[in-house]
């Protein structure tokens, strides 16, 4: 339990020192930033969601690309 708390607070401090604001690249990300403003959510949560979305889309794109290149 103590280890978990230590990791939690250590990670939180690291995230709060990094005050980057990610610019939206599509309408979904733009909507997430609007929701953040409307519901007063933390910037870190939106950044994390946007980065996860981008990572997942990149993974799907690469998987499809490999299937297409492997099939031909």
| Domain presence at residue 3 | no
User: CA–CA separation, 28 vs 1, rounded Å?
Assistant: 37
Between 27-39 and 43-71, two packed helices, what is the crossing angle to 10 degrees?
Answer: 160
| Domain presence at residue 61 | yes
Neighbouring C-beta atoms of residue 46, cutoff 10 Å: 19
| Domain presence at residue 10 | no
| Domain presence at residue 16 | no
pTM confidence score = 0.61
Total domains in the chain come to 1
Q: Are the CB atoms for 28 and 53 separated by under 8 Å?
A: yes
pLDDT tens profile 43-62: 999 999 999 999 999 999 99
| Domain presence at residue 68 | yes
| Domain presence at residue 18 | no
Range of the domain at 46: 25-72
| Domain presence at residue 6 | no
Q: In a structure prediction context, what are the per-residue pLDDT tens digits for the chain, which is 72 residues long?
A: 566 666 666 665 444 434 447 888 889 999 998 999 999 899 999 999 999 999 999 999 999 999 888 865
Q: Are the CB atoms for 42 and 50 separated by under 8 Å?
A: no
| Domain presence at residue 39 | yes
């Amino acid at each position: 339990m103590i280890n978990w708390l230590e990791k939690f607070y250590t990670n939180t401090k690291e995230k709060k020192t990094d005050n980057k604001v990610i610019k939206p690249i599509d309408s979904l990300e733009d909507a997430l930033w609007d929701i953040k403003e409307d519901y007063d959510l933390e910037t870190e949560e939106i950044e994390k969601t946007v980065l996860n979305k981008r990572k997942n889309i990149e993974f799907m794109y690469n998987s499809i690309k490999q299937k297409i290149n492997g099939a031909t």
